[in-house]
Amino acid sequence: MEFIKAENLTFEYHKTDDAGQEMSTRAVNNISFSIEKGSFTAIIGQNGSGKSTLAKNMNALLIPTAGKIYVDGIDTSEIDRIWDVRQKVAMVFQNPDNQIVSAIVEDDVAFGPENTGVDPAEIRQRVDAALSWVEMFDYRKKAPHLLSGGQKQRIAIAGAVAMEPDCIVFDEPTAMLDPAGRAEVMNIIRKLNARGITAILITHFMEEAAQADYVLVMDDGKIKMEGSPLEIFRRTDELKDLSLDVPAPVALADKLREEGIDLPEDILTTDRLVEELIK
């Protein structure tokens, strides 16, 4: 079942230069795609490829310049339906400090439901459940500024979960984290997706994209490639032409094959590579 569908979606940024002339930049250029309900989709591409602009079109933070994007059948350009769209699609951004608004963890997670009129008793249940999901319940009385970057990001995710959306768009949520923090956040994303939440991950870490069900590759505002991680990361030369790499386990497996070691073609992760090498 389609949850997000884009039809000839275009988005342009407009600004005025020093001479007073209006200038436009087309960040997303006439793209069409669909994302299935309950799926886990990764979007990759170089900086400036249009990934984040596309993400903001998915929950009506931005409205298409041309074309359409539908969320669960709702046209995001219908002004009176914007809040319906945003209740269905939550966003988690790169820097958690930009999303944390309260001095106590549980108050921050409660902020969204409180501002949409949810009953206080239900808010309490949602906050406790969301913090448990991201393994931060024991920190509920803490001040966010005392937490690590990874813990802050988990609090930001809990705030999105407490809104009970159908979908969460993660816009480079691990970019500011160390490897341990990235692993924690990716584990949370996989758990939420297993629970039935549609997950959309924008990332420049190929190892993270390899964990998704489906991958969209963007360049210069267009979708250049799409398919399963296995399909995408076997197209090494095409990715290099887009200044993108493949996950380290894929690259290492390719080099080992060149040295005569017989390995299957479906290796995407370190665990899978180790498993085959042990054999």
**pLDDT tens track of the chain, all 279 residues?**
899 999 999 999 988 777 777 888 999 999 999 999 999 999 999 999 999 999 999 999 999 999 999 999 999 999 999 999 999 999 999 998 988 889 999 999 999 999 888 999 999 999 999 999 999 999 999 999 999 999 999 999 999 999 999 999 999 999 999 999 999 999 999 999 999 999 999 999 999 999 999 999 999 999 999 999 999 999 999 999 999 999 999 999 999 999 999 999 889 989 899 999 988
pLDDT at 14: 87
Paired tokens of 102? 């309260």
pLDDT at 80: 94
The count of structural domains within the chain is 1
Within a domain: 180 = yes
Within a domain: 261 = no
Task: Cite the DSSP H helix spans in the chain.
Answer: 51-57, 82-88, 105-115, 120-133, 149-161, 179-194, 206-209, 229-233, 236-241, 248-258, 270-278
Within a domain: 169 = yes
Within a domain: 155 = yes
Looking up tokens 């758990």 gives 191
Within a domain: 225 = yes
Paired tokens of 201? 């991950």
Q: Distance (Å, rounded) from C-alpha 100 to C-alpha 95? A: 9
Question: Is 41:216 a contact under the CB 8 Å cutoff?
Answer: yes
CATH number for the domain that contains residue 240: 3.40.50.300
Predicted TM-score of the model (pTM):
0.92
Total residue count of the chain as it appears in this document: 279
Within a domain: 142 = yes
204 lies in which domain range?
A: 2-246
pLDDT at 109: 95
pLDDT at 22: 81
**C-alpha count within 13 angstroms, C-beta hemisphere, residue 127:** 22
Looking up tokens 């386990």 gives 249
Q: What is the DSSP string of 31-50?
A: EEEEEETT-EEEEE--TTSS
Q: Distance (Å, rounded) from C-alpha 60 to C-alpha 140? A: 30
Within a domain: 264 = no
Contacts of 58 (CB under 8 A, 6+ apart): 4, 69, 71, 76, 89, 167, 169, 200
pLDDT at 195: 93
3-state DSSP assignment of residue 211:
coil
Tell me the sheet residues that pair with 201: 42, 170
Within a domain: 278 = no
